[in-house]
Amino acid sequence: MVAKIVPTARLRPGKCVLSGDTQGPFLDTGNNLPRYGQVYISIKWLKPALVDSGIILEEDGTELKAKLEALESERAELLEEVEEYRNLISVIEPHLPKPPTEVVERKVIHLRAPTDEEIEKWIAENGATHHVVRNAQAPEKGSSEEWQKLYNTKKDKPVTDDDLEQLSQELSKELEPSGPTKVVELFGQQLDLDKILSENTKTIADFCQEKPDSFIEALVRREFYLAEVKSKDPRKGVLEPLGFWDDEGPLYPEDE
């Protein structure tokens, strides 16, 4: 027995077994019950349940198909309009005024160690009596300067290894360049640039937002100086968010 859709309930009792409706269409189950007759089920009675379950009936499918065809037709018309607009833009674009190209020049300074000729020239200009030159020279044998370097106290004994290390650190510190400004004033407060640069790069970038250009440049100069002291390169993560890094590398602020 195969169930099928029929327009009318032709066999007895001629109505829906569930709703008693006599108006078709019906689902003819193909079953014939003794003392009852042919079993029909009204499609109209079943329709709400079919719709709730997601089953699309023929008339609903026809309506959806018609809507889809209308949307496809509208889409085709819109695509034609878009193509026309694109053609129009391609025609008028060469005739539109173009903004002037802004050229920004930045002075790039690459730090390096001084050459022997530059050192010789500096000594000639500043004189051999300059304290930096004197401290760098080895004292004469038997001179008081040699004794002062070898003996750190009034006691008649040679200096220890710790004394020599301390003396070496003091001499290195004296020869070390002072570098750019370490402490700057911002909004009435004294800020230590080294302490700011000890933070991670994201914290530094966030802190520098909406700060004056003079403060940013002082911070960048200090970053270059600390990198030189540590024999390292300036950090891209610090300089790039501040606008002092390009395709060629780090950019040094223009001299004040």
Q: What is the pTM of this model?
A: 0.33
CA distances to 206, 222, 242 from 199, rounded to whole Å, are 11, 14, 15
- Cβ(7)–Cβ(42) under 8 Å? no
Please give the Cα distance from 251 to 217 (Å, whole number): 10
Q: What is the pLDDT of residue 164?
A: 66
CB contact set of 212 (below 8 Å; sequence gap of 6+):
186
245-246/4-6 β-pairing: unpaired
Helix intervals (H) in 93-115: none
Please give the Cα distance from 220 to 253 (Å, whole number): 7
What pLDDT, in 10s, does the model give residues 167-226?
666 656 555 556 788 888 888 888 899 989 999 999 998 999 888 888 889 999 999 999
Please give the Cα distance from 134 to 7 (Å, whole number): 120
What pLDDT, in 10s, does the model give residues 128-148?
677 777 777 777 776 666 667
Please give the Cα distance from 249 to 230 (Å, whole number): 18
